[in-house]
Amino acid sequence: MVCKYCGAEFEDNAPQCPFCHSENTELAERIYKKQVGEVLGKIRNVKEEAKKEERRISRKAVKIFLVSVAVLLAVIALWHIVSEVISVVKINTEKKKEDVYLAELDAYYQKGDYDGLKEYYYGSSDVFTFRAEKYREVVYALGYMYNIRRFETEEPLFPITIYAILEDFNGLYRLTEEKTNDSTVYGNEDVLLGFLAEAEEFLKETLGMTEAGIEAVKEAKLENGSFDSTLQDITDEICNRLGIKEEY
């Protein structure tokens, strides 16, 4: 190594010239470059490690995501299965309940115990099924009969009572006409016609009505809750004939 300041020769690795004590700039530069290289190497190593860690975290995140999706799908599938099982159990329970309900209604119906049929029908109001339409027809008709029958022993009769009897008879007649002439076949025709015949007999025996008067009541076109002049005229005629007066 030749000193660029004094021209003396000395060892390449000597930090300074032993004669003029000038700094060995070439050595200093080599040391500097080496140190810079080491720093840059460490920086590259840090970057590589960061990339490796990032890839590791990414793979872990993807794994966690896939596991989460799998768990979510499993929960959804399980929920569907449980829902289906609950639905099937509920349907079967409701079906059994409905079958028991219909069997009880039919038992009353077959015995001709229509009062018991009506009581059980309304007493089991938590069950509704269109399969009970056969019994529903009889229950509705019996409702009109109840309103008519309760006046058989009522004393005394008043004009408003007579009008109510005629109104219920008209309702029973219209129900019977509808149900015995529609396309459904429930086998209730004889039952409904029997109620109608009983009601007609009541009008004849209790109120002394003629066939013509009964036919006039049948033909009245009543609207729900509305007053009908035809029924009022018939009511007035019955009251005059039987000497029935207004209640005071």
Give the model confidence (pLDDT) of 227-236 as tens digits: 788 899 999 9
Nearest to 172 by CA among 152, 191, 150, 151: 191
Average pLDDT value over all residues in the chain: 83
Rg of the Cα atoms in the chain: 52
Nearest residue to 118 (alpha-carbon basis) of 142, 85, 148, 92: 142
Output the pLDDT for position 248.
Answer: 46
What is the per-residue pLDDT for 185?
64
Q: Does the pLDDT at position 46 exceed 70? A: no
